[in-house]
């Protein structure tokens, strides 16, 4: 009888600590074959011929039961295109019978990673051979991400989940006010989010198996021709050296207007990666909170409107001496003359919630830090992880404040993404209203005002 009672007690204890969730973990190299064009900077004039360290796709599958799963995929990439994201989602939904809200993909936004065609195609004037190369890579990337999900699905095992938060201070707001307007520089007094959210995944006996961690900062320490994951890549490498056999997965926060400082050398990228790794290690050694089932998810698409279309603006820009302005104008005018609707575009949003223990809000595109700070304040009682750069990276996502101030995130960035712009003034309102609806659906409540 005593042994039965002990066994029952252990079963109850493990369930209360999240052992009712199975987790599958997998990783796969997604480094392209060289030579290959890198993305993120328009200043590059040739493809890369060297790999500093490999790039990875990594997957976590969380299963409460066969009908309740969520898949999280992280990639060492600038971002996924709509085409690649949709192709992956369609295959995984059909294969595993899940719905779209149960698949969350996030990119680290390294600027030392490969072109994911056709994202930011305006940056490039590729020859036939290079165009074939980037097209093949996009197809292979789709296969590789589906394969890493398959591998994680096949390795499900009971796990305990724990969460906590740390801090790293190297992110700095880059929207610097000047007499001539906002420039991409250093704003020491601008808003930042130095939070380092951490999800620890361990076996029921306490053996660490995986770490999911995040930060809100551009991966732009480096502007070189060697393939690498920038500070996020070095942080993952450092953690996996510290904890042999463990898979470290990085997700990008709302770092669209944040740059690492100082920056410019490999040594600084390693330094920032180590700083982030040490913040994660400190969290793992401290007090953590259990994360349990049930798992609830939601996914929605919001139609974001652009400012009213002005045909004359693009007709004039087509004659510009700036090749990027000219290329954007060409795309816009071709779309207009084909009768395509270029007044808005569909913007994906997603929420994943584990019991009342952890809520992950994922936002597509390059999201400015205001969104994360505002949501954390509004949902102050939630253990909230806020991720940008999720599912697909189609453009910058400004708030009304950023739109009113102007600058790169509000205006010039639209050129490189080949979109009309800027957004209409209701962009933040529409996004926040959609977030409220999703948060309510999964049971998350705003703090009382």
For residue 417, give Cα distances in angstroms to 223, 311, 366.
19, 18, 11
Residue 435 has pLDDT above 90, yes or no: yes
Which of 46-50, 268-272, 308-312 has the least mean pLDDT?
Answer: 308-312
Q: Is 259 helix (H, G, I), strand (E, B) or coil?
A: strand
Residues 364-421: tens digit of each pLDDT? 999 999 999 999 999 999 999 999 999 999 999 999 999 999 999 999 999 999 999 8
Q: List pLDDT tens digits, range 90-107.
A: 999 999 999 999 999 999
Residue 114 DSSP code: B
Give the Cβ contact number of residue 429 at 10 Å.
Answer: 12
- 232-261: per-residue pLDDT in tens? 999 999 999 999 999 999 999 999 999 999
H/E stretch holding 8 reads: helix 2-16
Prediction pTM value: 0.95
Residue range 211-238, pLDDT digits in tens: 999 999 999 999 999 999 999 999 999 9
DSSP string for 62-104? EEEETTEEEEEEEESSS---HHHHHHHHHHHHHHH---GGGEE
- Residue 243: what pLDDT? 98
Cis (ω within 30 of 0) for the bond into 210? no
């Amino acid at each position: 009888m005593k042994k039965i009672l002990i066994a029952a007690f252990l079963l109850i204890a493990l369930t209360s600590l999240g052992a009712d969730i199975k987790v599958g973990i997998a990783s796969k190299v997604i480094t392209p074959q060289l030579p290959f064009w890198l993305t993120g900077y328009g200043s590059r004039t040739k493809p890369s011929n060297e790999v500093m360290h490999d790039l990875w796709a990594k997957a976590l599958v969380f299963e409460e039961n066969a009908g309740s799963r969520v898949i999280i995929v992280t990639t060492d990439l600038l971002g996924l295109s709509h085409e690649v994201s949709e192709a992956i989602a369609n295959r995984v939904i059909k294969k595993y019978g899940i719905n779209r809200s149960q698949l969350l993909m996030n990119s680290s936004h390294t600027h030392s990673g490969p072109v994911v065609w056709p994202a930011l195609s305006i940056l490039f004037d590729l020859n036939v051979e290079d165009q074939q190369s980037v097209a093949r890579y996009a197809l292979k990337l789709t296969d590789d991400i589906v394969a890493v999900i398959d591998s994680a699905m096949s390795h499900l095992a009971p796990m305990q989940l724990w969460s906590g938060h740390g801090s790293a201070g190297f992110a700095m707001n880059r929207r610097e006010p000047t007499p001539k307007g906002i420039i991409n520089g250093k704003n020491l007094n601008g808003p930042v989010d130095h939070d380092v959210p951490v999800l620890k995944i361990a076996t029921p006996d306490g053996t660490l198996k995986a770490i999911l961690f995040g930060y809100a900062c551009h991966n732009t320490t480096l502007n070189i021709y060697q393939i690498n994951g920038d500070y996020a890549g070095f942080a993952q490498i450092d953690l996996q050296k510290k904890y042999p056999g463990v898979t470290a997965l990085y997700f990008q926060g709302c770092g669209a207007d944040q740059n690492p400082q100082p920056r410019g050398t490999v040594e600084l990228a390693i330094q920032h990666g180590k700083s982030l790794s040490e913040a994660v290690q400190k969290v793992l050694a401290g007090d953590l909170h259990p994360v349990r089932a049930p798992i609830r998810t939601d996914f929605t698409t919001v139609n974001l409107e652009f400012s009213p279309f002005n045909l004359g603006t693009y007709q004039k820009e087509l004659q510009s001496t700036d090749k990027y302005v000219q290329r954007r104008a060409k795309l816009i005018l071709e779309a207009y003359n084909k009768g395509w609707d270029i007044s808005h575009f569909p913007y994906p949003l997603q929420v994943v919630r584990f019991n009342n223990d952890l809520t992950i809000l994922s936002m597509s595109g390059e999201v400015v830090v205001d969104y994360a700070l505002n949501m954390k304040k509004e949902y102050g009682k939630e253990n909230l992880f806020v991720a940008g750069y999720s599912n697909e990276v189609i453009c910058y996502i400004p708030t009304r404040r950023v739109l009113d101030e102007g600058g790169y995130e509000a205006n010039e960035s639209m050129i490189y993404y080949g979109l009309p712009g800027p957004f209409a003034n209701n962009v933040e309102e529409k996004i926040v209203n959609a977030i409220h609806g999703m948060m309510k659906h999964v049971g998350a409540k705003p703090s009382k005002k």
